[in-house]
Amino acid sequence: MSLVRPGPARRGVLAGLIAAGLTACGRASRGQAAAFEAAPLKSVARFPVGCAAMTQRLADPAYADLLAAQFSQLTPEWEMKMEYILQDDGSLRFDAPDAIAAFARAHGMSLFGHNLIWYSQNPAAFQRLDGQGDAFTRAYDDYIAAVAGRYRGQALGWDVVNEPVAEDGDGLRECLWSRNLGQTDYMRRAFERAHAAAPEAVLFVNDYNLESLPRKRATFLNMAEGLLKAGAPLGGLGTQCHLVADLEAGALTTAITELAALGLPIHVSELDISLNRARGMFASREELLDRQSRLAGEIGEAFARLPTSQRFSLTVWGLRDADSWLRSRQENPTPPWDAPLLFDDDGRPKPLLGALERGFAA
């Protein structure tokens, strides 16, 4: 895989790809909305705009060119998580996250680290230490130091703790980490060790459904305040924004406003807007697409209106619809295919992109 800045030939691929999208007037791929003319996202945003990516896709020149042309920041979608890096024998592998970091450097993009500690990952190397006190603690500290320290000076920020709040917002999750280190202390310790390894990075706690479940948002904010009072070097709040097209208008704005009230930088960290998960009766797919665009405009406007110091970045969770996790067999096994992202299967810009950009400019 080439990790050098694209030359004229590869830029030509991108130009042809975008031109095809901007002139398309026929059927869009898999029944999606027709392509839409819009400026590169990073050229209209007054803050970093990121995209989640995986190394396999970076090997595709058209994908790589579109990614570099549109976005200024890169998040590893899966390959910087513990389940990839930490092997059963306790060794660490960095081939894929190193490749993503190298792509970011080669294309003048910043890097965001995702993630260090996540309740859902229980690797064998830690399960063997479950209940072993000091040995577990040393392994925990060493893992965070090794991973965060490896990208010191390049990763601008980290999701240090991912999804710590219970599904319905009723308290915090019980997990391997809380069982061995304490429900608050495992988080505080993770922030302290990450800060020691990468003192210049902005350190985030990240969670989902904060816009649709006010109770969960309140628990999330109370937890963040508790971490700050405990002395944790918490630097920002991540709201994933895996949205559904039927979300009530104004809910996003309320969520962003309440999160920002704590005064920390905000990262819209995993944005996509599902059509297929919408509930209730809708007149047509076109009505859902319109609601999807309205939500994109709302999140763009709510984020752009934050104080400059609180606009850390806005990250989209995938480049093209075909790349989305919502297209997995588990999430979307049969047509109609979900279309939650800014570019269609073929990399053509969608009206959704234009709606987000208009929100930025509002």
Total of domains in the chain: 1
Q: Are 103 and 3 in contact (CB under 8 A)?
A: yes
pLDDT at 24: 34
The band of 6, judged by pLDDT with boundaries at 50, 70 and 90, is very low
Per DSSP, 336 falls in state S
Mean pLDDT of 303-319: 98
**Inside any domain, residue 5:** no
The residue type found at 355 is: A
- Gap between the Cα atoms of 348 and 278, Å rounded: 24
pLDDT at 35: 55
**Inside any domain, residue 1:** no
**Inside any domain, residue 15:** no
**Inside any domain, residue 18:** no
Helix, strand, coil fractions of the chain, as percent rounded to 5: 45, 15, 40
Mean pLDDT of 92-112: 98
Q: CATH number for the domain including 268? A: 3.20.20.80
Given the structure tokens 């549109």, which residue do they identify?
70
Q: How many residues does the chain have?
A: 362
pTM above 0.85? yes
Secondary structure, 3-state, 220-286: HHHHHHHHHHCCCCCCEEEECCEEECCCCCCHHHHHHHHHHCCCCCEEEEEEEEECCCCCCCCCCHH
pLDDT at 36: 63
- Is the pLDDT assigned to residue 41 strictly greater than 80? yes
- Token duo for residue 119: 């309740």
- Is the pLDDT assigned to residue 81 strictly greater than 90? yes
> Collapsing DSSP states into helix, strand and coil, what is residue 161?
strand
- Is the pLDDT assigned to residue 19 strictly greater than 60? no
What whole-number percentage of the chain has pLDDT above 90? 84
**Inside any domain, residue 23:** no
Q: Average pLDDT of the chain?
A: 90
pLDDT at 329: 87
The band of 336, judged by pLDDT with boundaries at 50, 70 and 90, is confident
- Gap between the Cα atoms of 304 and 362, Å rounded: 8
Summarised one tens digit per residue, pLDDT across range 200-233 is 999 999 999 999 999 999 999 999 999 999 999 9
Mean pLDDT of 90-103: 98
- Is the pLDDT assigned to residue 193 strictly greater than 50? yes
Which of 208, 225, 226 has its CA nearest to residue 217? Answer: 208
**Inside any domain, residue 126:** yes
> Collapsing DSSP states into helix, strand and coil, what is residue 350?
coil
**Inside any domain, residue 21:** no
How buried is residue 328: exposed, middle or buried, by Cβ count under 10 Å (0-12/13-18/19+)?
exposed
The band of 334, judged by pLDDT with boundaries at 50, 70 and 90, is confident
Q: Are 73 and 315 in contact (CB under 8 A)?
A: yes
Summarised one tens digit per residue, pLDDT across range 121-171 is 999 999 999 999 999 999 999 999 999 999 999 999 999 999 999 999 999
Phi, psi of 102 (to 5 degrees): -65, -40
**Inside any domain, residue 202:** yes
Q: Which domain holds residue 142?
A: 38-361
